[in-house]
Chain A
Amino acid sequence: DGGITQSPKYLFRKEGQNVTLSCEQNLNHDAMYWYRQDPGQGLRLIYYSQIVNDFQKGDIAEGYSVSREKKESFPLTVTSAQKNPTAFYLCASKPGGYSPLHFGNGTRLTVT
Chain B
Amino acid sequence: EDQVTQSPEALRLQEGESSSLNCSYTVSGLRGLFWYRQDPGKGPEFLFTLYSAGEEKEKERLKATLTKKESFLHITAPKPEDSATYLCAVESGGSYIPTFGRGTSLIVHP
Contacts and interface: CB of A to CB of B under 8 A. Distances in A.
Interface in A14-63: 31, 33, 35, 40-43, 45, 48, 50, 58
A8 interface: no
Contacts, number: 57
Interface in B26-78: 31-32, 34, 36, 41-46, 49, 51
Nearest to A91: B43
Contacts of B101: 42
A101 B96 contact: no
A97 B95 CA distance: 9
A101 B87 contact: no
B80 interface: no
Interface of B: 31-32, 34, 36, 41-46, 49, 51, 87, 89, 91, 96-98, 100-103
8 contacts: A31-B96, A35-B100, A42-B87, A94-B96, A99-B32, A100-B32, A103-B36, A104-B43
Interface of A: 4, 6, 31, 33, 35, 40-43, 45, 48, 50, 58, 90, 92, 94, 96-106, 108
